[in-house]
Amino acid sequence: MPKPVDVILKNALVLTMDEKLQQYFPGAVAIRGDSIQAVGPESEVRKEYAAELEVDCQGRVLMPGLVNAHTHVPMTLLRGLADDLRLDVWLMGYMMPVEREFVSPDFVRLGTLLACAEMIRSGVTAFADMYYFEDDVARATAEAGLRAVCSQTVLKFPSPDARAFEDSLAYARDFISRWKGHPLIVPSVAPHAPYTCTPEILKATAQLAVEFDVPLHTHLAETALEVENMRRETGMPVVPYVKKQGLFDAKVLAAHCVHIDYGEMNTLLHAHAGVAHNPSSNMKLASGFAPVAKMLEVGLNVGIGTDGPASNNDLDMFEELRLASFIAKGNSGDPTALPAPQVMTMATRLGANALHIGDITGSLEAGKRADLILVDIAPLHNSPRFRRDTDNPYAQIVYSAKASDVTDVMVNGKWLMRERQLLTLDEAELLVQAQEYAHKIDAFLIEREQSVLSKLIALGGSSEQESFEVQVKVQIDDPDQVASGLNQDAIKIVRYRHYHQHDTYFVFEDLSQGRLRYREDEFIENNKIANVRTRLTLIGPAREGQFKHDVLLSRSRYLAPATQTLRFYREYFKPKAELELSKNRRRWLIHYRDTEFFVNLDQVDQPTLGTFLEVKSTTWSREDAKLKAQLAVELISLLASGKQKTIPQDYFELIT
């Protein structure tokens, strides 16, 4: 008596992607409930099993669904928003500000549904996600019927779903405890990357993952710059650094690993960590070429991922398969590198292993969940077909097949697409809603791009100084005279500092935008650089004007800590021109007639302009400012005893 099953898929070219890479034609798969009961030659399967429903696969390839090993699915809504930029400008200048403004449970849900539709169409049955509001990602994914490792992001910056990392950690704990054991969703935690997390975050997230026995998803060694910075700051490459923080106590899924060495590969191997290789993303962001062949040789579970649709810009795994192979060949000069069967293994079984869900999916084997796809291998672009070599079908899938050749998708024993018809999602409705978001985001960015100030504010952390600024400046010949001039009873010195100041001024076409100053202060103590501080200041045009041209009363200033490099700001703000100024500054904070002043003695080295004496103070009212200006002029004549020259106007404009 044949055993009853729910459905038998027959007349297929079955590529099992199991350890032996067994294939059957005509082959069949018997499914009962959510699981595969049998895989084998059609005649044998049909002899042993009986189903009310038999599906004729018409000679198509029947294979395990593809595993997208690393992505950020809600970012479908940011696809094509900002391209051809460097990673930091793209991330900090565009993605994060837009995310802060728009990312909500609603945004995440829509983006996820859109991504699920795209992934089902391209034969993906499981993916590893990392984003915010991961609870909504998980819910939308489960509704769409896909399998996923859903990882809640934790990082040191405020994020759309948390003001501080403690909040996102608490969110992750709650999220994991509620979803653990779900038939489709594996909840997980994602410390975003070593450079966006503190050691404390890395430790806490690893402990959380261990406590609930769930995977930990992160980005590792994506760019050479990341590795360089890590070496400079900690004296270690990235993998040993995160190991030191206890990250590998957890089941890690590490995206990228572009810049790791042989020792680091072995560390990952011993930690049973999975790796997600993202060929499109690495090429688009010019991150480098991951040593994929080496990692496979070492024995690592390397899966293939699309990365987020804002850095790819699609979720087409067929494209990733082909690129993975082509990059490995092109980069090594060895056309035998990463052959088609190996690439397909990465995109299925190894990918599932990398996600730590290899026990239930990733290959067509009895006992595993029925996560499978049918691919039409007879369209024009994939004809004719050779069967002399058993590798021929793999080459067909990797080198010729397209996502649109996927006709049917089943996950957990349930059809999500039949004959190219989506069964769980309303594609037309999703497209309309997505376009509405695009209009809103466009409007937000158009408004932001209108001024340097709003672009600065979009980066976060800036604050306006609404005070009046009194500034009197003269050029002097004898700096020593100033130092001794300060030594009199009328002047009380509160503090003294010495530093080198390097300023880069960004000048914009529209002068009313003001000038943006990137300032690097090197504080000098005992003839050594004791400390470096970088700040960004947007200096508006003078508001109150100047009386005599060497006394300035007021201008608006917006201050922000310069957390990025000068190059970042240059690419983000796109100034028309730049001016550089370096000076050796000696600064005294003094009290003169019960009023606080800064006395700056600046030797300007670049350009060589000589030495300037500047007296400065800030105040809150215009009347007070005028009073202080009188005192400041008095102080100047005390310190430079009438020998001062007035300052060239253009220089005054530049340095104020």
Chain contacts with Zn ion (rule: CB under 5 A): 307
Distance CA 270, CA 191 (A): 21
- The residue among 280 and 617 lying less far from Zn ion, judged by its C-beta, is 280
The CB-of-518 to Zn ion minimum distance in angstroms stands at: 29
Neighbours of 90 (CB within 10 A): 21
* Side chain identity at residue 297, one-letter code: E
- In the complex with Zn ion, the residue whose CB is nearer, 226 or 307, is 307
Nearer to Zn ion, 307 or 320 (CB): 307
Residue 22 has a CB neighbour count (10 Å cut-off) of 17
Distance between CA atoms of residues 117 and 112, nearest Å: 9
Closer to Zn ion by CB, 87 or 230: give it: 87
Nearest distance from C-beta of residue 146 to Zn ion, angstroms: 18
Identity of the residue, 307 or 316, whose beta carbon is nearer to Zn ion in the bound complex: 307
Query: Could you write out the three-class secondary structure of 341-374?
Result: HHHHHHHHHHHHHHCCCCCCCCCCCCCCECCEEE
Residue of closest CB approach to Zn ion: 307
- Number of helices (H), then strands (E), belonging to the chain: the values are 22, 27
End-to-end CA distance of the chain, in Å?
Answer: 93
The least CB distance from residue 165 to Zn ion, in Å, is 19
Number of C-beta neighbours around residue 301 at 10 A: 26
Q: Residue 196 Cβ, how far from Zn ion at the closest point, in Å?
A: 11
Nearer to Zn ion, 23 or 153 (CB): 153
How near is the Cβ of 174 to Zn ion at its closest, in Å? 24
Distance CA 257, CA 227 (A): 10
The smaller minimum CB distance to Zn ion, of residues 290 and 636, is found at 290
Pair 192, 155: CB distance under 8 Å: yes
Residue for token pair 């030797």: 603
Virtual CA dihedral for 490, 495, 498, 502, nearest 10 degrees?
A: -100
The count of C-alpha atoms lying within 13 angstroms of the C-alpha of 495, restricted to the half-sphere facing its C-beta, is: 6
CB of 305 to Zn ion, least distance (A): 8
**Rounded Cα–Cα distance for residues 220 and 540 (Å):** 41
Residue 71 or 471 having the CB closest to Zn ion: 71
Nearest residue to 561 via CA among 455, 459, 654, 451? 459
Alpha-carbon distance values, 626 to 458, 551, 554, 653 (Å): 34, 10, 10, 20
**Farthest CA pair distance, the chain:** 114
Question: At closest approach, how far in Å is the CB of 308 from Zn ion?
Answer: 6
Considering just the CA atoms, what is the radius of gyration of the chain in Å? 31
Residue 307 or 550: the one with the smaller Cβ distance to Zn ion is 307
Please report how close the Cβ of residue 219 comes to Zn ion at its closest, in angstroms: 5
Q: Which is nearer to Zn ion, 127 or 652 (CB)?
A: 127
Tell me which DSSP letter residue 394 carries. H
313: cis peptide before it, omega within 30°? yes
Q: How far is the CB of 370 from Zn ion (least distance, A)?
A: 29
Least separation, in Å, of the C-beta of 121 and Zn ion? 22
